[in-house]
Amino acid sequence: MDKINRRKFIKSAGLAGGALSLAGVAGAGYSAGADKDSFTGYGRTAYGEDQFFNRKPFLVDKPTYVQEGEPVRITSIEDIFKRNGELSRLMFSRNGDQPAWKPSDGLDALPGYLRAYYQANPGAFDEFIKAMQKGREQRTNWDKYRDKYFIADAWSNAHSSPIRGRSSFPAEPQGKPEESDFRGVNKKRLKLKSPRHGSELLKKICYSFGASLAGIAKVKKEWVYQGSLRGIGRVDYEVPSHWKYAVVIAVPHEWDSMYANPTYGTSYDAYSKLRFIAGKMEVFIKELGYSARPHVPPTSYDLVMPPLAIDAGMGEQGRNGILITPELGANTRLAAITTDMPLEPDKPIDIGVSKFCKKCRICAEECPGGAISFKDTPGEVIRGYRRWKIDQNKCFTVWNSVATSHARGCRVCLSVCPYSRKNNWIHNFAREADPRDPTGLLASGLLAMQKKFFTYPGGQEYLPPPDGNNRTFGEAPGWLRTEEWFDL
Amino acid sequence: MFNNSNILEPLFWIIMGGLYTVFIIGLAMWLKDMKVKMNWWKWSLTLLWFILLSITVAGGFTLIGENELRAGLLFMAVPGAVIIVAGVALGRFLLRNTNEEKDN
Ligand code: SF4
Ligand code: SF4
């Protein structure tokens, strides 16, 4: 009898154990998903642990961008921010002078170099005028949305405060690079053991300053802007010979606010962090006795960042034009420090982003401005490289349209990208397994689940009424929601 | 489960290990009483099925924890349905052998 009872008891306990262990994995799963510490970056480690993806199996000799023809340097006027910088200098008077140009003066009244750009890019000027118009509506409508996004706006403004004006850090270079990049360089240099030691040391210091990712690239001249140089102004110039290597660093935006783009997120959180890290790296490298020049967001760059970061083995370019890294996905913001310190460059990687983007298109479907290509393959050869290209002008119109106090960005294409996910077991399975699957079946399965299981508001929905409903991709976190803290 | 506690987290996994052990011992008794003859590959299939079920439940709840309720429920419903069907098929297969033995 006793034996039968004991047997019955063990059998019942076995059933209960099975059920409880399933409840246990449910609880463990829930907690892995809810855990804020599984968001990568944001200063959680000073020792490089955020760069957790083992790149070794995916190192390649050639980067995954495709060269077709002779590479050409990008002229600064082709970059929307540098172009808009030139326009705003003309449109907004300094010292009470009359503005040199206003949109109603038309294209013909613009200086030759700007006119040439717009003539070579039909539609871009009209899109700029539309963006200006949308910007006026945005400022007028802000009264309607101010209370709802009160904290988000304050949070963004606080992040942008170290970027504005003369006291920004790092200071803008003054004078020729041959002078400014060497200003303050320690005359006493110690003998570096090897370039590999140099690279390892600088990466460790980047991490200690708060970088999530760090890589080293050789500077290719085609990544250096032409037509304008910080510290000098508008000028055509040869790439300075001391810009030998670039230390490239990346940090993410704060994740919960990033998922709540476009209205709750900001670009300035990552920008201000990058500026502090790059500025401190400039000082550190100069202390070691070598030249250094930081290239930092939002616009203080003399080099184009994504291809440089690809060369530095940090990731690959996505359909949305952004660098996609295994750790941060599209939530990757970049800065760099050019130097003549002897360094060993990293190798580029191939984790299958270019292949995945050909199938995915989520960012193109969600972009409120229709700025991202739907084509099957990168359709254009741009300055000697076949790659994805976004329509910067349409993108900028969206910046001026969403319900924010001013054109402070959209970033929906960062939020919706399936690569922008937490460092937890389920996403790490996808991170590790997908690039190892030569058949591409896993990628197709994951993508099908992504599209069928997850909720995407759809492009126009991110815009304010009447075009959309001010939707965000993810729900805004409580700490950014005004109604949680103030009586409305 | 208790990510920020370095006491409760290992304790949780020790208890989970205990639960799995009790489950496997109990299951072995059930199968023996039902006259199911098990060998290494039958055990492997059975445990693989339970692991897949556990992963599906864990995956669904991970997505729910990430505030993706719909994705989490669908993750459990779609692969979960396949796993349940596979489980029923596996159970029938294991029991069919015993029925055949009984008939003989
Ligand atoms: S930032 Fe917004 S508008 Fe610009 S490309 Fe990305 S999704 Fe489109
Ligand atoms: S959303 Fe899809 S297509 Fe767009 S960058 Fe990410 S993976 Fe590529």
Sign for the pseudo-dihedral over CA of A427, A428, A432, A437: negative
Q: How far is A69 from chain B (nearest CA, A)?
A: 45
Ligand 1 centroid–CA A394 distance in Å is 8
The pLDDT value given to residue B56: 95
| Predicted structure pTM score | 0.92
Return the residue whose CA atom lies nearest to atom 3 of ligand 1.
A395
Residue B49 and residue B24 share a domain: no
Return the residue whose CA atom lies nearest to atom 4 of ligand 2.
A363
In chain A, which residue's Cα lies nearest the Cα of B16? A21
The pLDDT value given to residue A91: 87
Residue B50 and residue B99 share a domain: yes
pLDDT for residue B102 is more than 60 = no
What does the angle CA A208 – CA A214 – CA A215 come to, to the nearest 5 degrees? 140
DSSP, collapsed to helix, strand or coil, labels residue A485 as coil
| CA–CA distance, A28 with A356 (Å, rounded to integer) | 30
Spans in chain A with pLDDT lower than 50: none
Domain boundaries, chain A: 38-484
A7 in contact with B, Cβ within 8 Å: yes
Q: Single out the residue of A165, A203, A387 nearest to residue A281, CA to CA.
A: A203
Spatial contact of A443 and A355, defined as CB atoms under 8 Å apart: yes
Sign for the pseudo-dihedral over CA of B67, B71, B75, B81: positive
pLDDT for residue B67 is more than 60 = yes
Q: Could you tell me the residue range of the domain that residue B14 belongs to? A: 1-33
Spatial contact of A420 and A329, defined as CB atoms under 8 Å apart: yes
Amino acid at A53: F
Domain count for chain B, please give it. Answer: 2
Phi then psi dihedrals of residue A325, to 5 deg: -110, 155
Residue B52 and residue B6 share a domain: no
Residue B50 and residue B28 share a domain: no
Residue B46 and residue B76 share a domain: yes
| CA–CA distance, A376 with A379 (Å, rounded to integer) | 8
DSSP, collapsed to helix, strand or coil, labels residue A333 as strand
CB atoms within 10 A of CB A406: 14
- A323-324 vs A316-317, strand pairing mode: antiparallel
Chain B CB contacts of A34 under 8 Å are 65-66
Chain B CB contacts of A424 under 8 Å are 62
Residue B47 and residue B11 share a domain: no
Spatial contact of A266 and A409, defined as CB atoms under 8 Å apart: yes
Q: Single out the residue of A343, A313, A403 nearest to residue A58, CA to CA.
A: A313
| CA–CA distance, A172 with A231 (Å, rounded to integer) | 7
Residue B42 and residue B17 share a domain: no
The pLDDT value given to residue A90: 87
| CA–CA distance, A249 with A208 (Å, rounded to integer) | 12
B62 in contact with A, Cβ within 8 Å: yes
A96 phi-psi bin (left φ>0, alpha ψ -120 to 50, beta other):
left
Region B24-46 average pLDDT: 91
Residue B46 and residue B29 share a domain: no
> Residue A382 is inside which H or E element, if any?
strand A380-382
The pLDDT value given to residue A107: 87
Residue B59 and residue B14 share a domain: no
What is the Cα gyration radius of chain B? Answer: 17
What is the dihedral angle through the alpha carbons of A329, A330, A333, A337, rounded to the nearest 10 degrees? Answer: 70
Residue B23 and residue B66 share a domain: no
Q: Single out the residue of A252, A254, A153, A259 nearest to residue A472, CA to CA.
A: A259
pLDDT band at B103 (very low <50, low <70, confident <90, very high): low
Suggest the residue from B1, B14, B20 to mutate for an interface test with chain A (most A CBs closer than 10 A).
B1
Spatial contact of A34 and B66, defined as CB atoms under 8 Å apart: yes
B50, B65, B78: residue with CB nearest A31: B65
Measured between its terminal Cα atoms, the distance across chain B in Å is 50
Spatial contact of A275 and A297, defined as CB atoms under 8 Å apart: yes
Q: What is the DSSP string of A253-294?
A: PPHHHHHTTTTS--SHHHHHHHHHHHHHHHHHHHHHT--EEE
Q: What is the DSSP string of A318-329?
A: -TTSSEEBTTTB
Chain B CB contacts of A28 under 8 Å are 1, 12, 16, 58
The pLDDT value given to residue A147: 96
The pLDDT value given to residue B69: 94
Residue B59 and residue B25 share a domain: no
Residue A232's Cβ-side half-sphere holds a number of Cα atoms within 13 Å equal to 15
Question: Could you give the C-alpha distances from A229 to A197, A237, A295, A483, in angstroms and in order?
Answer: 31, 8, 12, 46
Residue B27 and residue B70 share a domain: no
Spatial contact of A209 and A281, defined as CB atoms under 8 Å apart: yes
Ligand 1 centroid–CA A357 distance in Å is 16
Ligand 2 pocket, residue A318 CB under 6 Å: yes
Ligand 1: which atom is nearest the Cα of residue A372?
5
Chain segment A430-477, per-residue pLDDT in tens:
999 999 999 999 999 999 999 999 999 988 999 999 999 999 999 999
| CA–CA distance, A461 with A457 (Å, rounded to integer) | 6
Q: How far is B104 from chain A (nearest CA, A)?
A: 28
